[in-house]
């Protein structure tokens, strides 16, 4: 028994050393209480550099050092959330500052969604914020007054310690400091020692001259980048040659280090979707080291030079369409400013159910089309009767379905387009065509979807994390095809949940940093995701109507559903096929109708 206690004691000591580390408390902190904190620069969930000034005038700012792994951070989050809610209306801004070099910005944003953080999570990408505040551990906090002078630095309270906890706190250091700052009084205890995980600052990228373009970098670029960055695509520049890549080298290193490129937006824990884009950490590191070494070209000695990158066809990538519909008018677009959505009905009536296997939306001027949705409307109906068919959004390709699966365009309907244009700095014209490939071979299943939407929400002015939910239960067993999200400029995140009949709940997807400019679909491999009858699908979205949202059209507005981007939408799509369906149907390739 004594030996067991001795071993346990050694283990607890080891844990304490790992969390308490070297005796940094013995070193005098060079950042003094009362010191003016100069501008702090950090990155938000949208990859944008921000400062404290972006929060506007506040009575106090509370900065919490955090990462996604420290046990004390997680234990203290409920306390932090209660304090933030308590002081929110008193002009106190809370900020969760991720300080871990090993946490990506996407992981930071996903962590904030999972733990229900209502206030901004930001990333200290280079360690400059930690240095400016004199912080050493997580979850250390700093309290700044309205003039950004440091008034408190230390622990939140004395409840949670390494290896144990009190039933409740006996000293509320953070709350006492906030109260004093709001009263413009001196903080009674302006500094306290902190238990927790030592902060490991980012290390500068070391150049590696052994890494060359021909041997190391070109294969990475070919694998992850040239699908979009080549002639004939909407990408603003190509990355098909050494000169093109080296000419953008510094920028490539930055967006790769951030995790901004290749675009992903799905949380890191979700690996089932086969169309995810992601570089490995080793690939990212190679690019950064290559750029730091001034981008050596290298030679193809001993390796096979890659084939030239073929430009994307300017025509139909789905193959020759069986039916092409083109809008009648040509849209004239202004050089600048916001362009309202355009609504166009295509000149064709579908007299019978029409079964298609591929649909491509083909603008004659792709640079001006942000996104375009196609919807079916019953003849004589209106937009309230519209049903989604497919869309063209940033980061997506045409709808293409495997043999045996087809999309049905309903009989007695027309197709309408909802088009969102963007200005380019000069007057532009646009005309859009849509090509359809009818289903080949036997059609066994119809691609269907449910739209999880909520159109009765009201987002209050200034609310930075307003929740909106929707759910629906399917009566039949289904095979999941994919998920797709659509919100507007205040959209912040969306989570998809499956509540199974046996009482279990699965998180299918978290999009923790939704981007209006990159609305991507997430696809499962066919017939790999089975949902039994009675499964209830739920989506939980959050909207940022605060001044900290850099794309917010008007933080003072109460926001409701609407078609324009200064309104909002909450749309979560679940695409599926019925697991037990077998249509056993042939399609006439001249009409797209079922052969009777």
Best CATH choice for the domain 323-443 from the list 2.60.120.230, 1.10.760.10, 2.30.30.60, 3.30.160.40: 2.60.120.230
pLDDT at 25: 40
Residues of each domain in the chain carrying CATH 3.40.30.10: 21-198
Separation between Cα atoms, residue 302 and residue 304, nearest integer Å: 7
Separation between Cα atoms, residue 314 and residue 234, nearest integer Å: 11
Q: Report the chain's terminal Cα–Cα distance, integer Å.
A: 83
Other CB atoms within 10 Å distance of the CB of residue 359: 24
Tokens (6 digits) for 16: 């304490």
Tokens (6 digits) for 479: 């095979």
Separation between Cα atoms, residue 317 and residue 319, nearest integer Å: 5
Tokens 């400029």: give the residue. Answer: 489
CA distances from residue 104 to 68, 142, 253, 280 in whole angstroms, order as listed: 10, 23, 15, 12
Q: Are the C-beta atoms of residues 448 and 488 closer than 8 Å to each other?
A: no
What is the chain's percent helix, strand, coil content, to nearest 5? Answer: 20, 30, 50
Kind and range of the H or E element at 5?
Answer: helix 2-20
Q: Does domain 448-578 have CATH number 3.40.50.720?
A: no
Tokens 């250390």: give the residue. Answer: 140
Tokens (6 digits) for 201: 């600052």
Tokens (6 digits) for 343: 């609504």
Tokens 């799509």: give the residue. Answer: 573
Q: Are the C-beta atoms of residues 174 and 143 closer than 8 Å to each other?
A: yes
Separation between Cα atoms, residue 566 and residue 560, nearest integer Å: 9
Tokens (6 digits) for 147: 């003039």
Q: Between β-strands 92-98 and 121-123, what pairing exists: parallel, antiparallel or unpaired?
A: parallel
Tokens 């300017």: give the residue. Answer: 314
**Residue in 118, 109, 114, 113 with CA at minimum distance from that of residue 82:** 118
Separation between Cα atoms, residue 395 and residue 418, nearest integer Å: 18
pLDDT at 18: 41
Q: Are the C-beta atoms of residues 409 and 400 closer than 8 Å to each other?
A: no
Residues of each domain in the chain carrying CATH 2.60.120.230: 323-443, 448-578
Other CB atoms within 10 Å distance of the CB of residue 572: 28
Q: What is the mean pLDDT of each run of 10 residues along the chain (596 residues)?
A: 40 40 53 94 97 96 97 97 97 98 95 97 96 97 97 97 92 98 97 94 92 96 90 82 96 94 88 88 96 96 87 82 96 92 94 97 89 91 82 80 95 94 93 96 95 95 98 96 93 98 97 89 92 98 97 97 90 95 96 94
Q: Are the C-beta atoms of residues 440 and 405 closer than 8 Å to each other?
A: no
With 0-12 / 13-18 / 19 or more C-beta atoms within 10 angstroms meaning exposed / middle / buried, residue 167 is exposed
pLDDT at 27: 53
CATH code of the domain occupying 21-198: 3.40.30.10
Cis peptide upstream of residue 326 (ω within 30 degrees of 0): no
Q: Are the C-beta atoms of residues 449 and 471 closer than 8 Å to each other?
A: no
Tokens (6 digits) for 170: 């006996």
Separation between Cα atoms, residue 109 and residue 510, nearest integer Å: 10
Q: What contacts 24+ positions apart, CB below 8 Å, involve 30-36?
A: 30/134, 31/132, 31/133, 31/134, 31/150, 31/153, 32/150, 33/150, 33/151, 33/152, 33/153, 33/187, 33/190, 33/191, 34/149, 34/150, 34/151, 35/149, 35/150, 36/147, 36/148, 36/149, 36/150
């Amino acid at each position: 028994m004594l030996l067991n206690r001795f071993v346990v004691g050694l283990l607890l000591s080891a844990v304490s050393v790992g969390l308490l580390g070297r005796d940094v408390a013995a070193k005098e902190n060079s950042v003094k209480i009362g010191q003016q904190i100069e501008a702090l620069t950090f990155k938000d969930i949208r990859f944008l550099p921000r400062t404290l000034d972006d929060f506007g005038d506040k009575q106090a700012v509370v900065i919490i050092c955090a990462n996604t792994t420290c046990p004390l951070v997680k234990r203290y989050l409920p306390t932090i959330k209660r304090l933030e809610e308590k002081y929110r209306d008193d002009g106190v801004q809370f900020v969760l500052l991720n300080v871990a070099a090993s946490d990506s910005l996407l992981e930071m944003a996903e962590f904030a969604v999972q733990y229900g953080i209502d206030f901004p999570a930001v990333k200290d990408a280079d360690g400059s914020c930690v240095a400016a505040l004199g912080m050493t551990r997580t979850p250390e906090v700093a309290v700044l007054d309205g003039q950004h002078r440091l008034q408190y630095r230390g622990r939140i309270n004395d409840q949670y310690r390494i290896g144990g906890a009190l039933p409740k706190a006996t000293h509320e250091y953070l709350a006492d400091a906030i109260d004093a700052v709001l009263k413009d009084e001196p903080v009674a205890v302006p500094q306290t020692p902190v238990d927790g995980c030592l902060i490991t600052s980012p290390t500068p990228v070391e150049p590696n001259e052994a890494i060359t373009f021909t041997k190391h970098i070109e294969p990475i670029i070919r694998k992850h980048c040239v699908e979009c960055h080549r002639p004939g695509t909407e990408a603003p520049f190509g990355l098909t040659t050494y000169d093109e890549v080296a000419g953008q080298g510094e920028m490539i290193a930055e967006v790769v280090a951030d995790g901004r490129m290749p675009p992903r937006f799905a949380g890191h824990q979700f690996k089932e979707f086969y169309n995810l884009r992601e570089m490995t950490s080793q690939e990212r590191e190679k690019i950064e080291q290559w750029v730091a070494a001034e981008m050596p070209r290298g030679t193809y000695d001993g390796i096979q030079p890659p084939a030239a990158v073929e430009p994307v066809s300017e025509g139909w990538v789905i193959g020759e369409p069986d039916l092409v519909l083109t809008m009648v008018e040509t849209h004239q677009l202004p050089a600048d400013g916001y362009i309202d959505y355009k609504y166009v009905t295509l000149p064709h009536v579908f007299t019978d159910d029409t079964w298609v296997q591929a649909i491509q939306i083909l603008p004659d001027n792709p640079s001006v089309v942000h996104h375009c949705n196609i919807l079916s409307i019953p003849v004589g109906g209106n937009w309230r009767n519209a049903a989604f068919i497919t869309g063209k959004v940033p980061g997506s390709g045409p709808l293409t379905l495997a043999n045996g699966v087809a999309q049905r365009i309903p009989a007695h309907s027309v197709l309408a387009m909802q088009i969102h244009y963007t200005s380019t700095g000069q007057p532009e014209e646009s005309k859009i065509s849509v090509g359809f490939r009818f289903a080949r071979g036997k059609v066994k299943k119809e691609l269907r979807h449910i739209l999880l939407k909520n159109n009765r929400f009201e987002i209050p002015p200034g609310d930075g994390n307003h929740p909106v939910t929707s759910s629906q239960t399917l009566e039949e067993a289904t095979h999941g095809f994919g998920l797709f999200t659509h919100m507007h400029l205040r959209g912040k995140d969306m989570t998809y949940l499956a509540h199974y009949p046996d009482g279990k709940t699965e998180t299918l997807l978290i999009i923790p940093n939704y981007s209006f400019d990159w609305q991507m679909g997430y696809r499962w491999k066919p017939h790999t995701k089975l949902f039994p009858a009675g499964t209830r699908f739920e989506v939980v979205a959050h909207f940022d109507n605060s001044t900290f949202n850099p794309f917010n059209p008007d933080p003072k507005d109460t926001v409701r559903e609407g078609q324009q981007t200064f309104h909002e939408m909450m749309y979560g799509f679940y695409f599926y096929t019925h697991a037990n369906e077998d249509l056993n149907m042939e399609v006439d390739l001249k009409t797209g109708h079922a052969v009777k």
